[in-house]
A and B are shown apart, each in its own frame.
Chain A
Amino acid sequence: MRDLNNEGSDELQAKLTTMIAKTHLKLTRRQMMSGAASAGLLLATPVSKAFAQARVTVTEGNFQPIPIAIPNFVPGTQGDNEVASGIAQVITNNLKRSGLFAPIDQAAFIERISNIDVPPQFASWRQINAQALVTGRATRQGDGRLKAEFRLWDVPQAQQLTGQQYFTSPESWRRIAHIISDQIYERLTGEKGYFDSRVVFVDETGPKDRRVKRLAMMDQDGANVRYLTRGADLVLTPRFSPSTQEITYMEFGQGDPRVYLFNVETGQREIVGNFPGMSFSPRFSPDGQRIVMSMQQGGNSNLFVMDLRSKSMTRLTDTPAIDTSPSYAPDGGRICFESDRGGKPQIYVMGANGGAAQRISFGEGSYSTPVWSPRGDYIAFTKQGGGQFSIGIMKPDGSGERILTSGYHNEGPTFAPNGRVVMFFREAGGGPSLYTVDISGRNEQKVPTPGFASDPAWSPLLS
């Protein structure tokens, strides 16, 4: 008797039908049972389409920084050692300070990278639990330029994620490092980076009662500090133009303060205008063509816009109150500003051409120095109440208010170009210093400056 169980399913079915069809064949009970059992088995064997795969949902886990390994860049020639390791250091520092990456100590590395054009030994990087790896090379070219290349590797998947090469003058090696940092940041977080940018601030030196305040500019990591004014006169509220070549600020010259325009590259400066009154807190419009500022007349202060080409002034607000500290939305359509028309200083939003203003701050305390994020999704402000100065953010409609840091005394927030980090200054220990904090409230870091520093303003990305 044939053993039906060993045959394929199709053949089986055929055999069954033939068996039953051939009436002259006597079907013994045993055969019938085996046939039925096989049929049953057939039905019982899992048909993969009919089964649904089990789905396991993974939601737990707090955000954690990505462990990343950044070995020193390979020097292309003997003389490139300093630049090669310098670039790796700047990248490591940038990524670490962002709080989103955890660079692994170089002492733990197992493999020495000597050639970046071949894949690294991923197993040895997996061993130290690196999830990403950056390899690079710096080579001085024959024509004097510096060539910098890098590759970003995904260690568990053993593949390259991105790679680039740059040519620049040798003095700009730090900028290359910042640009590479931005590339890595963007590839691994999905957000645009902010490392290739500068910060202009007021540098303060001297005893507290006779402070010398100079306009200063530096890279966002504290390097390359330049002084833009000599400190003879008081300077306040420097702000970057969206094109990054110009800074606008206030300086108390002979008596009345004036708004100035300073060209970073040429070093030249010009007066924005001669106004019969005090003018405060100027800010550029996103297209760089206008400056909005507040002007004081009598006891009031109102907002005005000046077109830089035609030098014509337009009044935006006309209230018997103090309207000041205006800031454009990134699309240029609206302005947020601080006004005490309701009693205490609060934040208002109105159209860029003036008109009705809506109040958006409603918490306990007074709100000041609003600044609109370059992404348009938040407005940062200084909040004062209960003896505390806090830096906070809220959505442009006033909802979602969140305090990032609190204490005595924090003031003057400014957004990084990607809208994810806020820099402010805090008065502590004899003088003010600059700090950055993530908009989630995490990762507060001090920004190194030569002396005391206040009133920072973050430039857009330089590249």
Chain B
Amino acid sequence: MKIDKTLAASVALHVLVIGWGMVSFSTKAFESMPEDSVPVDIISADQFAKAMQGMKTGKKENPKPMVEKVAEAKPPVDDAVGKIEDKKPPVVTEAAPPPTPKPEEKPVEKKPDPPKPVVENKPKEEQKPAEKKPDQAKVDPIAEALKKEEAKKPPKPQQVKATPPEPQKQKAERPFDQSKIAALLDKRDPSRESITGAALNSQAALGTAKGRAADNSATWGAMFRQQVERCWKKPYGGVEAQKVEAVFTIKLKRDGTLETMPVPLPGGSSPYFRVYQESAQRAIIECQPYNLPAAYFDEWKFFEPAFTEKFS
């Protein structure tokens, strides 16, 4: 058979590179690091688009955010600068004391970028959170102060709960068509994931200053965390909270409801551990459906939430 030498070499090298990428990561479950949480505001896609475009228009249509369990209806904001300083939605502060910063800041940074080829986008997005991180660490986690700071920064970091693709889409100034966008995103997803898969070891190629594996668990993980914490009635472990960790594997459907009951992983046998585990299990079941970004469905359709007192 006649095979082009160059073709053979090309094929062989491709297979080699991809194969090496597939097998070289560790199978240890990577932890999504607890990020500094910052309180954020929710604005509708409309307001966000206006903020981005820097225009005032008279007519405000607020497209209803999807499956919005917790945000309260925000009045439309005129200001082009996007001073989103309305009262924070209760979801952010319900269970936890108000000043508790929430880990929205980091994933939020990725959103405002206009849709570009994914590969290019990723390094830029990853860099932004890395840069922003040192800034936020210094900022006093009081809601107002943070909001003011956010409002000043050029990319408007306000969008979290509503589906992230929406702002990107608005910027592109196409008529709002959810299915079209979904199709667009779906097409990109596989290619993104293959790249993601190959880079589960900390690949500097993606430009993260911290060199962590690049997946989107920071985004949807923070959203899941915040939603489940609302239902979680932590058992009172006495004066010193005992150091237990209750881990589950859960499967979610696309609409955010549980596909099966959460499966607890074995972790301890003390009565307190059992009570702790049950309280977490009740929380997972109570708080469905979870409003998580459809773009990352393949990541959050099967994952491991770990409930713990450890503050690592």
Which A residues are closer than 8 A to B by beta carbons? 20, 23, 25-27, 29, 32-33, 36, 39-40, 43-44, 46-47, 49-67, 100, 126, 129, 131, 154-157, 186-191, 393, 402, 420, 439-440
Contact = CB atoms under 8 A, between A and B. Distances in A.
12 contacts: A44-B22, A52-B29, A54-B299, A55-B32, A55-B304, A56-B303, A64-B233, A154-B282, A156-B281, A186-B271, A191-B272, A440-B236
B15 A63 contact: no
Given A40-B18, A54-B30, A60 B229 contact: yes
Interface in B150-187: none
B297 to A, nearest CB: 12
B27 A65 contact: no
Prevailing SS type, chain A contact patch: loop
B274 A190 contact: yes
Interface in B248-304: 249, 261, 270-276, 278-282, 285-286, 299-300, 302-304
Nearest to A442: B236
A32 B3 contact: yes
B234 A61 contact: yes
Contact of A157 (B95, B226, B249, B285): B285
B194 interface: yes
Interface stretch (B53-61, B73-81, B111-119, B217-225): B217-225
Contact of A190 (B27, B37, B272): B272
Nearest to A129: B286
A26 B14 contact: no
A63 B236 contact: yes
B15 A39 contact: yes
A111 B258 CA distance: 25
B91 interface: no
A56 B239 contact: no
Interface in B1-60: 1-4, 7, 11, 14-15, 18-19, 22-23, 25-32, 34, 37
A21 B135 CA distance: 61
What range describes how many residues of B lie at the interface?
Answer: 35 or more
B11 A49 contact: no
Contacts of A40: 14-15, 18
A56 B304 contact: yes
A43 B261 contact: no
Interface of B: 1-4, 7, 11, 14-15, 18-19, 22-23, 25-32, 34, 37, 95-97, 100, 193-194, 197, 200, 215, 217, 221, 224-226, 228-229, 232-239, 247, 249, 261, 270-276, 278-282, 285-286, 299-300, 302-312
Contacts of B7: 29, 32-33
B30 A60 contact: no
A304 B37 CA distance: 59
B218 to A, nearest CB: 9
Nearest to B282: A156
Given A26-B2, A58-B232, A60-B225, A157 B239 contact: no
Contacts of A56: 32, 217, 221, 224-225, 303-306
A131 B225 contact: no
A291 B281 CA distance: 48
B31 A55 contact: yes
B210 to A, nearest CB: 16
A58 B305 contact: yes
Contacts of B278: 154, 157
B22 A50 contact: yes
A36 B11 contact: yes
Contact of A55 (B23, B29, B100): B29
A64 B95 contact: yes
B309 A59 contact: yes
Contact of B275 (A20, A55, A67, A189): A189
B34 A66 contact: no
A60 B95 contact: yes
Nearest to B226: A60
Contacts of B303: 53-56
A440 B282 CA distance: 25
B31 A57 contact: yes
Contacts of A50: 22-23, 25, 27
Nearest to A189: B235
A239 B200 CA distance: 65
B273 to A, nearest CB: 8
A51 B28 CA distance: 9
A211 to B, nearest CB: 36
A402 B239 CA distance: 10
Contacts of A39: 15
B19 A52 contact: no
Given A36-B14, A56-B224, A62 B28 contact: no
Of the candidates A33, A43, A186, A188, the one having the most CB atoms from chain B within 10 angstroms of its own CB is A43
Given A55-B29, A55-B31, A43 B22 contact: yes
A62 B98 CA distance: 12
A189 B242 CA distance: 13
Contact of B30 (A55, A62, A131, A186): A55
Counting from the closest, the 9 A-B pairs by CB-CB distance are A190-B275, A156-B285, A190-B272, A56-B221, A27-B1, A54-B217, A36-B11, A190-B271, A156-B282
A61 B30 contact: no
Nearest to B310: A59
Contacts of B308: 57-59
Contacts of B197: 44, 46, 51
A383 B261 CA distance: 51
Given A64-B233, A131-B233, A191-B238, A57 B306 contact: yes
A67 B233 contact: yes
Of the candidates B100, B224, B232, B281, the one having the most CB atoms from chain A within 10 angstroms of its own CB is B232
Nearest to B22: A43
A29 to B, nearest CB: 7
B29 A54 contact: yes
Contacts of B1: 20, 23, 25-27
Contacts of A57: 31-32, 34, 225, 305-306, 308, 312
A52 B310 contact: no
B34 to A, nearest CB: 6
B194 A44 contact: yes
A52 B28 contact: yes
A52 B221 contact: no
B54 to A, nearest CB: 36
Contacts of A157: 261, 278, 281-282, 285
A188 B281 CA distance: 13
Of the candidates B226, B278, B308, the one having the most CB atoms from chain A within 10 angstroms of its own CB is B278
Contacts of A53: 29, 249, 302-304
Contacts of A32: 3, 7, 11
Contacts of B26: 52
A36 B200 CA distance: 24
B113 to A, nearest CB: 23
A58 B233 contact: no
Contacts of A36: 11, 14-15
